[in-house]
Structure 1
Amino acid sequence: MTTALQPPLPSPPLLRLRLAPRSGMPRRIDGVWWPRSYDLLVELPRLLAGLPQAWGHISSVTVNGATWSVTPGRMLVFNQVVRLRRSTTMSAPDTVCLLAPSRGRWDLLVVPPDTPPDTAEPLMAAATGDDTI
């Protein structure tokens, strides 16, 4: 009997997310996310999987409707329904707003997917107050 060797499955791409350090002071931006595309149905599950457990279940996500691809009003992510909202009147169009009932709201700056790494990485560090890179 012969056994065919199959190449290993490619690993999913790493999440490009940097969160601001926790502090007692309120922040306008809680972190920076650098998605690989503007396809929210692909990118959102990766983002939610990488968030701190302390943030709880994110039940609602608001994105800039002019930037992101068309999405349904809600989607199932890890067996939980997440409501998707598109806004063209967001105060900061390059952000995504995450809401978790009884836990809070988090605003993430979105770095455009086609941004070169040598531009995106310093931007992410500056936005989160991390001067180590």
Structure 2
Amino acid sequence: MTTALQPPLPSRPVLRLRLAPRGGLPRSTDGAWWPRSYDLLVELPHLLAGLPREWGHITSVTVNGAVWSAAPGRMLVSNQVVRLHRALAANAPDTIVLLAPGRGRWDLVVVPPDTTEDAAEPLMTAAADDAGEG
């Protein structure tokens, strides 16, 4: 008798996110996110699921419309509606802005998905270590 081996269950990829330490100083960024693609419908649920609980429910997300694939004006994430905005901000082309009513706004540097690990590491470290200079 032979036993068929079950294929491994697909695992959820590790969220590539580095957040700045909490502090009282104003910051230009709150950390960095390194998505695996520019498909917002695939990437955003993973990002939102990995955020700190104290950030609350993110209801609005703004991304650079020139680089992210087209997406509807809103999407359902964990049974919550999230409004999606596409901007062409020349001053912050590589950021994602997250808003939670009554909780705050968080700006994350977006490391391009095709960045190598060696190149991404210093970008993520710099964004998380930013001391408000910018």
TM-score (norm 2): 0.91
Amino acid at match of 1:9: L
1:38 paired residue number: 38
C-alpha contact (below 8 Å) 1:64/1:94 kept by paired residues: yes
For 1:113 and 1:89, the matched residues in 2 are separated by 19
Equivalent position of 2:12 in the other structure:
12
Q: Deviations over 1:31-87 (max 9, x none)?
A: 100000000000000000000000000000000000100000000000000000001
After TM superposition, the runs of 4+ consecutive aligned structure 1 residues lying more than 3 A away are 2-5
8 A contact 1:64–1:90 mirrored in 2:
no
Count residues in correspondence: 130
Is 1:28 matched with 2:25? Answer: no
- Structure with the larger RCO, 1 or 2 (CA within 8 Å, 6+ apart): 2
- CA deviation digits over 1:93-127, x for unaligned, max 9? 10000000000000000000000000001111122
Distance 2:39 2:90 in 1: 19
Deviates more, 1:109-118 or 1:121-130: 121-130
- Which moves more between the two structures, 76-85 or 88-97? 88-97
Q: Is the 8 A contact 1:30 1:128 kept in 2?
A: yes
For 2:107, the equivalent position in structure 1 comes to 107
Q: Over the residues paired in the alignment, what is the CA RMSD in angstroms?
A: 1.6
How far did residue 4 of structure 1 move? 4.5
5 Å-filtered alignment, 1:47-126, equals 47-89=47-89, 91-126=91-126
How far apart, CA to CA, are the structure 2 residues paired with 1:79 and 1:90? Answer: 33
Aligned partners of 2:72 and 2:119: how far apart in 1? Answer: 32
**Hey, what's the Cα distance between the residues in 2 that align with 1:52 and 1:59?**
15
CA distance in 2, matches of 1:110, 1:89: 14
**Unaligned runs of at least 5 residues, structure 1:** none
Query: Does the 8 Å contact 1:31/1:127 carry over to 2?
Result: yes
